[in-house]
Structure 1
Amino acid sequence: MSHGKLREEKNCLNCGHTVEERFCTHCGQENTQTRQPFYYLFTHFVEDFTHYDGQFWGTIKNLLFRPGKLTNTYLEGKRQKFVPPVKLYIFVSFITFFMFALFPPFNIDFKDKEETMISKEKSLLDKVKSVDTQKIIDSIKTQKNLSEEDSLTIKKLNAFVPDSTEMNDFKTTFEMNRKIDGTTRYGGYKNKKSYDSAAAKNPSIFDFIKKPMAHKFFELKEKGVTKGEILKNLTETSFHNLPKALFIYLPLFAFFLWIFHHKKKWWYFDHGIFTLHYFSFLLLTILFTSLLINLTNLSDLGIINTFLYLIITALVLYSIVYFFIAHHRVYHAHGAVSFLIGFVLFSINFFAFTFLVVGLALVSFLMIH
C-alpha cells in the first residue's frame, strides 16, 4: 500500500468519479496528492514493485527454490499472488546488468595490470638486489642435513622467486600489451590487398562473414592497437549487447518448447510464461555467480576461495537441474519422457544459444573502433 498523503477532495483526478476511501472504485487510481518530494520517485518505484505485502519476496523465493511454481500458479489463473512474468523479467534484467555495471565480473585492463606487475617486479629487485636468490636456495638444498635455520632461510627466499603461475601471468600480460605489428597475419595474409586478391581467386560461401572480419583486423592493425585493447573492447561490446541477445532469444526458446509439446494442450503463450520465469531465474543465478567471482578476486585465502568456487559450481549445476525439475512440474509428463524431452530441449537450446553468442562476438568485433 502506498504511503502518499490523501487529497481532501473526493473527486478522482483520473475519471472524475467520487472516491469514498483511498482508491477509486471505478478506475482504481489512488486519490493522493499530485505534488510529491523528489525522493518519492524512488520510494514509489520500490513500493509499487514490492507491494510490502510479500508479493515480491514471495515471487523471488518461489522463483529460486520452487522450480515451476510461478508458471503453474500463473497458468492456473492466480495472477495477483506473484509479480507478473514480464514485469519480473524486466526488473531482474535491470538489476542484473545494473550490478554488472557497478561490479564488473571481469577485469581485463592489461595496461594497469602491466604497471602493477612492473612495480611489483621492481620492488622484488630492490629487495633482492644483485643476489641470485635461486642459486642460494639450490645451494642450501644440496646439503644432506638441513637445519631448522636453513629451512627458514629457504622459506624466506622463496618469497622472492616468482612461481610458474606468476611467470605465465607476466608473459600473458606483456603479450597482450604488444601491438599488432607487421609480422602478424590473418589467415596467412599480411595486409588487406593480399587477402582480397586471394579471396577473389578462391571465393567461398562464407566470404560474407570472413571478408568483413579480415578487413576489420587489418583496419585495427593499421591503427596500431594492442591485442589487449581488442580483447577489452570485444568483451565490453559483447557485454553491452548481451541483454539484446537474451531478449532476442526469449521467443526462440519458447518456440522450441512449443515444437516438443502438444499444440492443443499447450499454447505458445504458455511456453512464453515458462520461458520468462526460467530466464529470470538464470539472470539471478548469473548475478549471484558474478558477485561470488568478485569475492574470489578480493580474497587471498585459499580456503575461502575454494569454498566460493564450490558455491559457484553448485549454482551452475543447480541452474541445469532447475530446468529439468521446472519442465517436469509444469508439463506434467512422465518422469522418463519428461527427462528425455528436457534433455533434447536443453541440448538444442545450448547449441542455438552458443551460435547466437558466437554471432554476437562477431558483431561485437566488427563494432570495435
Structure 2
Amino acid sequence: MVRAAVLPAVGAPLTVADIELPDTGPGQVRVRLAAAGVCHSDLSLSNGTLRQPVPAVLGHEGAGTVVDVGEGVAHVVPGDAVVLNWAPSCGRCHFCGLGEPWLCARAGTAAAEPYATLTADGSALYPGLGTAVFAEETVVAANAVLPLPEGVPLADAALLGCAVLTGYGAVHHSARVREGESVAVYGVGGVGLAVLQSAGIAGAGQVIAVDVAPGKEELAVAAGATDFLVAGEDTAKQVRRLTGGYGVDVAVECVGRAATIRTAWSSTRRGGRTTVVGIGGQDEKVSFSALELFYFGRTLSGCVYGNCDPSQDLPLLAEHVREGRIDLSALVTDRIGLEGIPGAFEAMTQGRGGRALVEF
C-alpha cells in the first residue's frame, strides 16, 4: 500500500489516498519515486483538455529507485536509479520503422489499462500517461524505465523525464537552432526554461524570453535569456524591433494557445522557423492567409516529446548536467509534497513559477 494523489473524476480536485499496487508481473518494473515534476500536461489531463480514463493517478515526469523487476527484465535491477519514460516506443510500428520513436503508435496504450486499486472502495485506477508518478511507488512496463547515468542528482533527475527532454529536443531536433541564430521563447515555465538553457548549448546569439508574468524575468535571464518581454498585443512587433526589424530566426512556443502560436509565428523573420511545444485544446484554432504563407516562407512545426529518442538523448543530457551546461535545480521554483500538487496546478493557471517538484 502506498500514498498517491488521486484524480477521482475529470475536473475534480485531487485527493491524497492509499492505493494498492499489483505484484510486479513479467516485463514490468516497480519503482520507488524520489521525485516527480508537476507538468502542464498533468493539469490538462485533470481538466479534460487531454483525455485520461478516471479515476487516475497522474504524473509522468519522475525519477526513483528500482524496487522489483519482473520476469524477462534485464536492463535494470533492484537498487538502480532510473528515470521514467512516459512515451516508450515499441520499436515495431510504422513510425518506429521510420526512425521516429516519439510518434510511436503504441506509446499511449498503457494509460488506457487499470494498474492499481484505490484501497478505500476497491475502484480500479488508471495510470496518468502510463506512468502514474504522483505516488510513492509505481509499476510500469520495462521499456518505460531508463537507467540514470551517474553524476545526476536523483530528485532533480525527474526533470529529465519530460521538461528537459522536451526543451532540449525542441531546440536541437525540431527547430535545429544553429550557432549565432536568434531565438524567441514563448512561455517561461519548466519547459520554457529548459528551452532557454538548451538554446545556450546550441550557441544561439540573441535569446528573447516572452511571458505574461513580469516576475519571471529573473528566472529567464538566469536560464540564458538576453532580453525579456511581457506578452501583450504588440509582442511580435516588439520582437521584430529587438531584431533589427526582421524577426527572430527561431520561435519556440511552450504555451499551447492559438493566440500565442500565431504571435510566435509572426515574430519570426521571412524564412524563419516556429516550433510548437505547448499542448492546446482541439478548439484552439490558428489562422493564416494563403498569401502570407507564400510571402513569408516560414516553417511551422509541431514537436512531440522534443522529437527525442530518450534512450539516446538521456546520456547526452546527463553529460550536459555534469558539465554544468544544464542546471536542473534552476528549473525548480517550488519543492512540495503530494498535498501541494493542487497548489502547483493553480500556480500554472496563474502563470506563476517554473517547475514544481514533488519530493518523496
- How does the TM-score come out when normalised to structure 2? 0.23
Q: Compare relative contact order (CA 8 Å, sep 6+) and give the higher one, 1 or 2.
A: 1
- Rg larger in 1 or in 2? 1
The normalised TM-score by structure 1 is 0.22
Structure with higher helix content: 1
